[in-house]
Amino acid sequence: MKIQMIAVGTKMPAWVETGFAEYQRRFPKDMALELIEIPAGKRGKNADIKRILHIEGEKTLAAISKGNRIVTLEVTGKALDTHQLAKNMEKWQLDGRDVSLLIGGPEGLAPECIAASEQKWSLSNLTLPHPLVRIIVAESLYRGWSLNNNHPYHRE
C-alpha cells in the first residue's frame, strides 16, 4: 500500500522538510509514504479566499491517484488514538487501495475535497500549523505501522 500525503503549501522551512523526511525514510517499501505539495494560492489583503480554496481543491483532487481512499485531515474529523490509527491502517491495507491523506492550507480544505473524503481524521481540537501537521501525521503513521508490525519503535 502506498500512502500519499497531499498538502497545500510549498517552500517549507528546513526543519519541516528534515522532520518529514526522517519519518518518510523509515517506512518499508511495501508501505511507502509520498508527499505531494500543492502550491498555495496567493493571499493578499483583498484576496478572494473562496476562489483560492476552489483552485487549491481542484489541484488537490487532480493529484489523487485514481481509486485511492481519500482521508481528509480536519478539526471536525474523528480523533484517533495510536491503537485506533493502527487498526485503521490495517483496514486500509485489507481494502487493497492506496490512501491519499489531504491536508489543507491556512483556511483548511476546499469543500470539494471534504465532499470527496471517505474518512475525516482530526489530530486535535487545536488548529495546528499546517507545516507541523506533515510531521505529526508522518510520525503517527509510522508509529501505527510499528505497532501493527511489532516493531520496537512503539513501546507501551
- Residue ranges for the binding site for S-adenosyl-L-methionine? 73, 104, 123-128
Is the four-CA dihedral 11, 40, 59, 117 of positive or negative sign?
positive
Cell 483548511 appears where? 108
- Residue ranges for the binding site? 73, 104, 123-128
For 26-50, b where at least 16 C-beta lie within 10 A, e where not — what string? bbeeebebebebbebbeeeeeeeee
